[in-house]
Amino acid sequence: MDSVTLRAPLHTLEPKVPVCVTKGTKISDVIGIMKDNRIGCVCIVEDDLLIGIFTERDVLSKVIGSSLDTDETFVEDLMTNDPEYLYDDDQIAFALNRMHVGGFRHIPLIDLAGRPTGIISVRDILAYMTRSLAENN
């Protein structure tokens, strides 16, 4: 695998369709959606535009062990606002950079209007790299 592999656009990874919830969704519902879909991250949208991200790390650090009522708390109260995002024609190297430097495990992808179109996880990238190694060797 050479550096050319890393310059490939993110859509090469065939990003998963993001699971989105709207601002105003109860935390209890968001957690139910995460469990049902077995995902670690949801995108929060308002008027179809990405405004935040909520991950299992947030569940651990902000929900579990706290006294808040998950039926009375809304996702916008606990989400990370204005998350780092990329476009699907940005290079894979940028996603790796964000994950390494920012310590993120998920990066949402958006279109030019700001609507979420995909989600890239650190495991997607590793799986891609292992695949390209297998193909090139």
Q: Does 102 bind another protein (CB under 8 A)?
A: no
Q: Does 70 bind another protein (CB under 8 A)?
A: yes
Residue 88 to residues 15, 23, 32, Cα–Cα distance (Å):
8, 24, 28
> Are 109 and 120 within 8 A, CB to CB?
yes
Q: How many residues bind another protein (CB under 8 A)?
A: 49
Q: What are the backbone dihedrals phi and psi of residue 108, each rounded to the nearest 5 degrees, phi first?
A: -75, 150
16, 57, 73, 80: residue in contact with another protein (rule CB under 8 A): 57
Residues 6+ apart with CB under 8 A from 81: 51, 52
Binding footprint of another protein on the chain (CB under 8 A): 1-7, 31, 34-35, 40, 49, 56-57, 59-61, 63-67, 70, 82, 86-87, 90-91, 93-94, 96-97, 99-101, 103, 105, 110, 112, 114, 122-123, 125-127, 129-130, 133, 137
